[in-house]
Structure 1
Amino acid sequence: MGPLFFSMKTFGEHELRTQFIHVGERKIHVVENPDGTFTYRRDDLRVKILGGKYLSVLPAPAEGYGVKFLMVKLRERLAVPPGETVHGYLSAPVDVVVKAGNAPIDRFIVGREKYALYGEHSIGIIARYHVSCFHEKEPDSLGVIKLAVRNPTKEWKLVERVVIPIRNSVMFYSDEKAYYPLIILTTKEPYEVNNTGNPPDGRLKATHRAEPLPNFRMRWWP
């Protein structure tokens, strides 16, 4: 086993060497074996890596057990003036995918896992659930959503939650944080959410080719 090393970054490529990689409160341990192979460890999971030079730790949308939507409830409802667009940030849960080369060897959830039913009991949808403040500046959280709330009507509109399509969504990342694509909420009945597929910041890296997802109409509102 080589000398112990603590990686200074979370996401992106990590050189295969004996080291710890911290992802939120989760910890990955990579160990170099005497025969030159490497063992990947997380909790009870063990994967032997037989070659290559790098390990990739990448953010993934918070699909958890296979849900298609993320519902973020706001701690304080937003009152949006007519004809205006407001911009802000939300904290958000993320999943994490680890790859050796282009082969996924692990996927796990960061933080507390919550789900909720959105809509009527008979025809509602199960969504990953999270509660967040609406921040003017980027919050200090592992996962971040940049949100634009657009009110094209002549009336004041209230926003108390955002239901975001996330299945197969691209993600963006810096060394330390994960970002969903720019999300646009339009408050014209029915409220409509657009996962644009566009980066919230041009300096971020993408997990794969960025494409928009079909818009989601938020029925049963509020």
Structure 2
Amino acid sequence: MFGEHGLRTRFIKIGDKRIHLLEEKGDIVRYRRDDTELLIKKSDNKLGIFPAPAVGYGVKFLMIKFKAPVVVPPRDSLTGFVEAPIEVDVRLGGKSVDHFIVGREKYALYGTIEAGLIARYHLSPFYLEEPDSLGVVGLILTNPSDDWKSLDRIVFPITNSTMYYSGDRGYYPLLIVTMKNHIPEVNNTGKPPREGLNAVGDAGSLPNFLMRW
């Protein structure tokens, strides 16, 4: 699924979408996906299919609400995973030739009506082991304070975020959420959530984000 594919007749399934490559005369490969169709002149280049941040209609943040709040003791931490929406970018020689959303799109207001913003939204359990999901976020919840802390969601910027992938999953970078006071701080480390993953583009961290609401 994710990775590079030769330009020859084949089906490639990604979530609820399917890409069909069909070899035709004149070294032409016809690319079809839903109503999208391309004619590609065959070359030694391969078709790259990679995960991309779920920006939807141009949102800058992703909100993932936990099905059950997570409570962390004082001066302790918890490592886990959540499911996450992703998008798919199709490239040839570094050029994006198709980009699409997989699954259902959901959005939510993050913050107040007067000062809030629209974020991509997803509801997920908190897993101690990596879930069998198309999109995954690895989390470290850390509580350096002297009080018990609870968290019912994470919100983090996704614009220009590095992505990682295995053959069948896309990953956001590892997030470290620090619950030192009443405003959790999210650090998008830019690092893979586990070993053995491939990066999409150059890996890099993003500025820390304070979850004010």
For 2:10, the aligned partner's letter is Q
Which residue number corresponds to residue 23 of structure 2? 32
The answer as to 2:38 corresponding to 1:47 is: yes
For 1:213, the aligned partner's letter is L
- In the alignment, the residues of structure 2 paired with residue 102 and residue 193 of structure 1 have an alpha-carbon distance, to the nearest angstrom, of 31
Which residue number corresponds to residue 5 of structure 1? none
Q: 2:166 aligns with which of 171, 174, 190?
A: 174
Q: How many residues align?
A: 211
- In the alignment, the residues of structure 2 paired with residue 143 and residue 60 of structure 1 have an alpha-carbon distance, to the nearest angstrom, of 10
The answer as to 2:191 corresponding to 1:198 is: yes
Q: 2:88 aligns with which of 81, 88, 96?
A: 96
- In the alignment, the residues of structure 1 paired with residue 9 and residue 17 of structure 2 have an alpha-carbon distance, to the nearest angstrom, of 17
The answer as to 2:134 corresponding to 1:137 is: no
- In the alignment, the residues of structure 1 paired with residue 184 and residue 138 of structure 2 have an alpha-carbon distance, to the nearest angstrom, of 18
Which residue number corresponds to residue 203 of structure 2? 210
For 1:164, the aligned partner's letter is F
Q: 1:69 aligns with which of 50, 61, 65?
A: 61
> How much identity, in percent, do the aligned residues show?
52
- In the alignment, the residues of structure 2 paired with residue 142 and residue 174 of structure 1 have an alpha-carbon distance, to the nearest angstrom, of 10
Which residue number corresponds to residue 81 of structure 1? 73
Asked if the contact 2:54–2:85 (Cα under 8 Å) also holds between the matched residues in 1, the reply is yes
For 2:184, the aligned partner's letter is Y
| Deviation of the 1:202 alpha carbon | 2.3
- In the alignment, the residues of structure 2 paired with residue 118 and residue 37 of structure 1 have an alpha-carbon distance, to the nearest angstrom, of 47
The answer as to 2:8 corresponding to 1:17 is: yes
The answer as to 2:179 corresponding to 1:187 is: yes
Asked if the contact 1:194–1:213 (Cα under 8 Å) also holds between the matched residues in 2, the reply is yes
TM-score where L is the length of structure 1: 0.93
TM-score where L is the length of structure 2: 0.97
For 1:183, the aligned partner's letter is L
1:140-194, Cα deviation, whole Å (9 max, x unpaired): 1000111000101000011000001110111000111111100111112321111
- 72-81 vs 31-40, greater mean Cα deviation: 31-40
For 2:148, the aligned partner's letter is W
- In the alignment, the residues of structure 1 paired with residue 43 and residue 53 of structure 2 have an alpha-carbon distance, to the nearest angstrom, of 26
- In the alignment, the residues of structure 2 paired with residue 104 and residue 156 of structure 1 have an alpha-carbon distance, to the nearest angstrom, of 46
For 2:168, the aligned partner's letter is E
SS in structure 2 at match of 1:117: strand
- In the alignment, the residues of structure 2 paired with residue 124 and residue 134 of structure 1 have an alpha-carbon distance, to the nearest angstrom, of 25
1:16-62, Cα deviation, whole Å (9 max, x unpaired): 10110000111001111111111111011111112323100000011
Asked if the contact 1:87–1:147 (Cα under 8 Å) also holds between the matched residues in 2, the reply is yes
Asked if the contact 1:85–1:151 (Cα under 8 Å) also holds between the matched residues in 2, the reply is yes
For 1:209, the aligned partner's letter is D
RMSD, aligned α-carbons: 0.8
